[in-house]
Structure 1
């Protein structure tokens, strides 16, 4: 997938949340991720990440999760058609199932807004909107899965259960000296995902019916 201006802006916005920034693309579209002017990682056009030997594990930990999500958001947005309903035509339809649609709108400044709606009137209107601002893509996908019936809310972990899982992962990462490099990398990625879920769990995820658009 080509690295375009929108992808770059979203990537910079997400990296900035964790204190990282990028330099402009150079050398066959390789992006340099830095912290305090020190190289942390190199990101290729296909999203492949090469870590700098000068970076700390703590600085590098969030990068794969951020890159995977940004590349997924951009790919989904590029391939999505515009919503056929005039009141929400600024959105692109990512997926629909069982009368529920998940859509995305790019707002500029590196930020997507995602929305899930229920179709009304022979799919010619939508209502009961749940909105996810500032690139909360994972939360939007989860909301779509539950609203459409593709997933059961009972499979969700509670926040206290996630905290236990996080502590267990941290303990193993610090104590298990037999971990191979790939195992350590997978553990770090999982730990960052759990941290993101815990952070997200403290945010107001659903903001219903607050957009200016007339949904029906």
Structure 2
């Protein structure tokens, strides 16, 4: 139970990370769970249904979606910047060392976004979709549930350098990883909860060799 409480703490902190300026929802001044109750009443149901289908098809997708949210939130906040492809002045975060040939689950987010655009066009942000998908993945694999504050804004830009510098990597020293967590207001308990306990909670893999490799290859 303690590991679930710590995991909840981590994602509560991540979910309130700084937001960027662009949002489909022009009146989004702050976050609250009922944000879409009127504008898109079935939003949470649709997200959960598609996540459940994806996890049923491939169990490790739960870990991948959780990890995708984690990698997004560690760069500029939980703003879906990790979803942006390179174009014009944007250099995609997908090309960073921690994400290249590693981050996965994008097709699930795309499917959710497509379904929500049909249900309620230009209403639900990708940032909220990713946050809900991370929560639903945790619940579907036996973890705790929690209310997700909603109303996040989608970023118009990405940060390749931020992705390379801020996301903990398998080849980082333990002290470097801990420092990166501390910069986000997280401590060593949160590091263990996110990096270690996720593996035991939702990863189907049983052995990765070293603790750091297990922690950051989960969901690959």
Q: TM-score, normalising length from structure 2? A: 0.23
The structure that is helix-richer by fraction is: 2
**Higher gyration radius (CA):** 1
Greater relative contact order (Cα < 8 A, sep 6+): 2
Q: TM-score, normalising length from structure 1? A: 0.23
The structure that is strand-richer by fraction is: 1
